Chains A and B, each alone.
Chain A
Amino acid sequence: MTIADRVDAAADFIPPDTLSPPPSPVRLRFVGHRGDYWRLMIRGGALQAITLGIYRFWLFTDMRRSLWLSTEIEGETLEYTGTAVELLTGFLIAIGILIPVYALLFVASLEFGFLSRLSGIVAFVVLAGFGQYAAFRARRYRLTRTVFRGLRFHQGGSAVHYAVRAMLWWIPVVITLGLASPWATTNLERYKMRNTFFGNLGGSFAGRGGRLFGRGILIWLLVVGPIIAGFAAAVAVIDWASVMRTFGRGNLFEIIAAMSGKDRIGLALLVGGVTWSILAGFVVYPAYQAIVMKWWLGGLRLGSAAAASDLRMRHYYGAYLRYLVYLLLFSIAFSIAAGAAIGLGYAALGGQIEFDRSSLSRDGLAAGSAIIAYVIYILGCSTIYQVVVKMRLWQVAVESMLISGIAALDHVHASEATASAVGEGLADALGAGGI
């Protein structure tokens, strides 16, 4: 779910665009204000905490309104017309669909008895398929709630078809350890864009898998290469039969001590390869995101309007670095505030509760405070991430876009179709939702 997901998450704003290259291309503008977004996200985070997450439907709707409204194409902004009640209803319907599915999977695992391991895989595949189905329907919902110049976007195609296609593409992607994913992404994007319409103007996707492969292969070599090399070395060098015999000799150090020199070199190569890959993964992740985003934006077409993107990778790194700095500052501030709160609480309650002895009220208080502190901290981090990374990357993507042939958007006719929010609800319940 790597590239496909990235693209999916970004697929919300559906691009623009117009006609022939000669009239100079139009650059999109981002007209949002970060201060407003901060306010919206902080309030939303607090309300989510006290409503145990029910408020998320309202927050997501607010976020989309704000982002859509911040995206300006030739002096006109996008408008998001979805409502939180639609999302809530869709979610409740999705729960109604999913509970019987979960129940069936559970009963199936009982019926199969000793095959219960296998039923775990079946459950994973079924739910992953549901996730793809939901993602496609969620995209349809978002498109039909996007209004531009008095017309809605909409999406045709079949979510079942899309889910099957996406699942089948997983086979070559897994077999090639991700090397096939540019073509998988291209194929799925083509399906999505071919079924995307602004009024009666149909979209298409001009991005090519080979191009993405060429731009991404270096990153693949940096991240996946060392893991493969490590495993290859380990398989070649380590005498697994003898290593197996040393298991059960107690802790890791004793096992290593019992290994032969050659086995130890193999183990070092394996551990080194995996460590390198994890570290490299962190370092090049923004670059990877930027490459995919630029490629994807550049492939978007709506009628004869064509998008291009001059996205800069450094903006991505800038966003993530700023996030790290903010996170550090927030963590320091949070520790100080939490320390002060604990001190005050101890002083205030010292007379009533014996803190030295285990008691129900002491333990309850400690556990309750820990949970509250945890929720505040995690929601704080998430809020910072949404503003400093997510909103910033949206802005960067919008501002990087140039649309040629924008006149194609001028005399489009309406072609109405709306969609329910059940797909969004499914995506939400399965944890597959994006903005």
Chain B
Amino acid sequence: MTTTGTGIFYDGVTSDRRKVAVEIDADAVRVSEPGGILLAHWRFADISPLTAPAGILRIGLANATGAARLEIRDQALGAALLARAKPTDRTGLTDRPTRVKVVAFSLAAVATVVGGAIWGIPLLAGRIAPHLPVALEMRLGAAIDIDMRQALDTSADGKPFECGTGDAPRAEVARAAFAKLVAPLEEAAGLTLPLRILVVRRPDVNAITLPGGRIYVFNGLLTKAGEVDEVAGVLGHEIGHVAHRDGTKSVLETAGLSVLFGMLLGDFTGGGGVIIAARTVLQSAYSRAAEAAADEFGANLMYKAGGDPRALGAILLRIADKQGAGAAPHFLLDHPQAQERAEAIARIAQPSPMRALLAPPEWEALKSICTGG
């Protein structure tokens, strides 16, 4: 049984537009010039329907390098061809099942990436960081240090950012007190790289650790601390970050998240917001685990150095009280809630033979390191 009609044919070799006779037989389409010269003989198995304006059936050869096209505008003929040939849509873009598959696979990919972000990245960063050479880590620290100083050194009064650098006798006493405080902690920590701990002119009650053993103690911490053990406790915590190489891990984690969320996913309108949200939540989750580990390290360090291991918990609680608990949503805090941390520290802290870390005059000198010469 053969159905016949007319169509428009482009042979894929020239741009000539030909009106042709179309014959549909049992397993193929035959295209011939009105005069009878056969132009194409396409088997049903090889043809593929292509995108076309409404009302036109456009077919071509699948897997062909050329772009020969047959267009049928006669609806009945087109329907007959489709009914007989049942061509597969090899472009895979119009039929529903393919789209459903695409969405399903995409969702699976998203799940994989999210799983990788939650567990894979911290795991990898934790494994890689200890194997990076110390020299590289110190160079990384030096690079971050430049940016950090620019970001933090906002005072306009011309005083140096770093405190206790002057030649005045008071500065020397303060420096000596600080060195005396740090030395037993550093020794007890048994680090593979030298520490560089500075007191910087910032009013906040805080301290930060950069890669490569750099620690900034903010002056606000010294002035607001009730006793020297609280400062030592914070130092122990920061030294814990150095020992665990948390700064380097966090650089690796940030890079990993950038690749996962910035490049693989989220490149759509509105994706920027999702990326920022996901990164914030994930990074704070990573860092909460790191903070808890640093607390534990710090408490042990204080025990070995003869200080009060619970002092860190005490100053955390006092800061939290001042700031008003719950000011920021729970899960966005870098540091787990002060109460939880203080309780965890109290659990770890072993009763220790305590000694005075600094004599009262030394402690006074240290407290005024940024106001002295």
How many residues on A have C-beta within 8 angstroms of the other chain's C-beta atoms?
Answer: 73
Give every chain B residue within 8 A of A85 (Cβ-Cβ): 92
Asked if B263 is at the interface of the complex by the 8 Å CB criterion, the answer is yes
Question: Contact: B66 with A84, CB < 8 Å?
Answer: no
Question: Contact: B146 with A77, CB < 8 Å?
Answer: no
Question: Contact: A414 with B92, CB < 8 Å?
Answer: no
Q: Which residue of B lies closest to A119 (CB)?
A: B143
Question: Contact: B265 with A54, CB < 8 Å?
Answer: yes
Asked if A247 is at the interface of the complex by the 8 Å CB criterion, the answer is yes
Q: Which residue of B lies closest to A99 (CB)?
A: B259
Distance (Å) between the CB of A198 and the closest chain B CB? 8
Question: Contact: B271 with A52, CB < 8 Å?
Answer: yes
Give every chain A residue within 8 A of B52 (Cβ-Cβ): 69, 77, 79
Distance (Å) between the CB of A19 and the closest chain B CB? 13
Give every chain A residue within 8 A of B188 (Cβ-Cβ): none
Given contact pairs A52-B274, A99-B259, A378-B273, A363 touches B267 in the complex (Cβ within 8 A):
no
Q: Which residue of A lies closest to B16 (CB)?
A: A411
Question: Contact: A151 with B110, CB < 8 Å?
Answer: no
Given contact pairs A65-B93, A81-B67, A50 touches B139 in the complex (Cβ within 8 A):
no
Asked if A47 is at the interface of the complex by the 8 Å CB criterion, the answer is yes
Give every chain B residue within 8 A of A198 (Cβ-Cβ): 15
The distance in angstroms between the C-alpha atoms of A415 and B132, with both chains bound, is 54
The distance in angstroms between the C-alpha atoms of A423 and B313, with both chains bound, is 55
Question: Contact: B103 with A367, CB < 8 Å?
Answer: no
Other-chain residue from A56, A111, A114 in contact with B146 (beta carbon distance below 8 A): A114
The distance in angstroms between the C-alpha atoms of A114 and B147, with both chains bound, is 10
Give every chain A residue within 8 A of B68 (Cβ-Cβ): 150
Other-chain residue from A53, A81, A378, A409 in contact with B267 (beta carbon distance below 8 A): A53
Q: Which of A30-88 contact B (CB under 8 A)?
A: 31, 47-56, 58, 61-62, 65, 68-69, 72, 76-77, 79-81, 83-85
Give every chain A residue within 8 A of B142 (Cβ-Cβ): 113
The distance in angstroms between the C-alpha atoms of A21 and B233, with both chains bound, is 87
Q: Which residue of B lies closest to A109 (CB)?
A: B143
Question: Contact: B103 with A50, CB < 8 Å?
Answer: yes
Give every chain B residue within 8 A of A248 (Cβ-Cβ): 156-157
Given contact pairs A364-B331, A367-B277, A410 touches B143 in the complex (Cβ within 8 A):
no
The distance in angstroms between the C-alpha atoms of A366 and B330, with both chains bound, is 12
Asked if B50 is at the interface of the complex by the 8 Å CB criterion, the answer is yes
Selected interface stretch from B6-14, B21-29, B237-245: B6-14
Asked if B69 is at the interface of the complex by the 8 Å CB criterion, the answer is yes
**Could you name 12 residue pairs across A and B whose Cβ atoms are closer than 8 Å?**
A49-B268, A50-B103, A52-B266, A55-B106, A56-B267, A83-B92, A99-B259, A99-B263, A248-B156, A367-B332, A374-B270, A379-B270
By Cβ-Cβ distance, the 3 closest A-B pairs, closest first, are: A150-B10, A248-B156, A378-B270
Which residues of chain B have a CB within 8 Å of any CB of chain A? 10-17, 50-53, 58, 65-69, 91-93, 99, 102-103, 106-107, 109-110, 113, 136, 139-140, 142-143, 146-147, 156-157, 255, 259, 263-271, 273-274, 277, 281, 325-326, 329-332
Given contacts A51-B103, A54-B265, A248-B156, 8 further A-B contacts (CB under 8 A): A53-B265, A62-B93, A81-B50, A147-B69, A151-B67, A363-B330, A412-B15, A413-B15
